[in-house]
Amino acid sequence: MTPKPIKIRLLKTKNIMDTHTHKFKFRLGLFVAGGLAIFVLAIFIIGKQKNMFNPVFKLTASFHNVSGLQVGNKVRLSGINVGTVDNIRIVNDSTVRIDMLIKKDVWQFIKTDCRVAIASEGIIGDKLLIISQGSSDKDKAKEGQQLQSTEPVETDAIMKSLRATGENAEVITKQLAEIMTKINSGDGTLGRLIQDKTMAENLNKTMVNLKQSSKGLDENMKAVKHNFLFKGYFDRKEREAKEKKEAKLKAAEKKSK
């Protein structure tokens, strides 16, 4: 017979193992349920991005360079996500074909003259396709139709242009600095004019003399007008000017009537 103390210890051990087994089964069940929930959620999210749960139709476009566009990237129309990039494949050495899956509820807004362009979400965001709006009098695009495309501007080309602009600005800045240095040191006519007070005073005197000469010339012209030898000539010129002015006024009145 098993001694009583040993029997009691065996019963306690059995109870502890049963308790641990129930906890293990419960935790395992929670782990499996959580894994299934995450799996279903992932399928739902991926399916939503791929438009697997929405009726779709296919459109295509061709580019020389897709600029990093990837399968699964968004397709937008009027700023709204209307589809995804379904497939990208190289047709030949100069053409890459892109297949798009578009929601059928926007089919009526995509016309045969719509154009497709590659853009970015922000400055460094993911690439996406932009479908431009077409003409209202055109027919809607057909299933599998290839839309016209607009080639993207490469980032390298933009950076090259900015670099050239920066270099030109640097050259211009250096030239302006040299000009200002010469002016401040009194070199050249402008520098002497600014730095040399005597030359500036002479220029001011010259301007005063010109004003006085102009005033004297006006007075001489007035005197000539009143001279009996030239008075007839100036009177005739005034009459002609007055007649031309009156003719213009009459013509303007006729047009207004």
The per-residue pLDDT string of the chain (257 residues; one tens digit each, 9 = 90 and over) reads 445 455 555 555 555 555 556 666 677 778 788 888 887 777 666 665 555 556 888 999 999 888 888 888 999 998 888 999 989 999 888 899 999 999 988 888 999 999 999 888 876 678 899 999 888 888 888 898 999 988 876 666 666 777 888 888 888 888 888 777 776 776 666 666 666 566 667 667 777 777 776 766 666 666 656 665 566 666 677 777 778 878 777 777 777 76
Crossing angle of the two packed helices 188-195 and 197-226, in degrees rounded to 10: 90
Count of domains in the chain? Answer: 2
Answer yes or no: is 239 within a domain. Answer: no
**Domain boundary at 118, 137, 152, which?**
152
Same structural domain, 63 and 142: yes
**Domain boundary at 11, 28, 49, which?**
49
Same structural domain, 38 and 103: no
Answer yes or no: is 6 within a domain. Answer: no
Same structural domain, 60 and 45: no
Same structural domain, 44 and 112: no
Structure tokens of 89?
């494949």
Q: Using an 8 Å Cβ cutoff, are 104 and 73 in contact?
A: no
Same structural domain, 62 and 139: yes
β-sheet bridge partners, residue 206: none
DSSP letter for 153, please.
P
β-sheet bridge partners, residue 103: 56
**Domain boundary at 100, 127, 152, which?**
152
* Cα(22)–Cα(28) distance, integer angstroms: 10
Answer yes or no: is 172 within a domain. Answer: no
The string over 82-102, giving b where at least 16 C-beta atoms fall within 10 Å of a residue's C-beta and e elsewhere, is bbbbbeeeeeeeeebbbbbbb
Same structural domain, 23 and 74: no
Q: Which domain holds residue 42?
A: 19-49
* Cα(75)–Cα(116) distance, integer angstroms: 9
For the CA atoms of the chain, what is the radius of gyration?
44
Answer yes or no: is 192 within a domain. Answer: no
Contacts of 182 (CB under 8 A, 6+ apart): 188, 191
Answer yes or no: is 98 within a domain. Answer: yes
* Pairing outcome for strands 56-63 and 146-150: parallel
Same structural domain, 62 and 137: yes
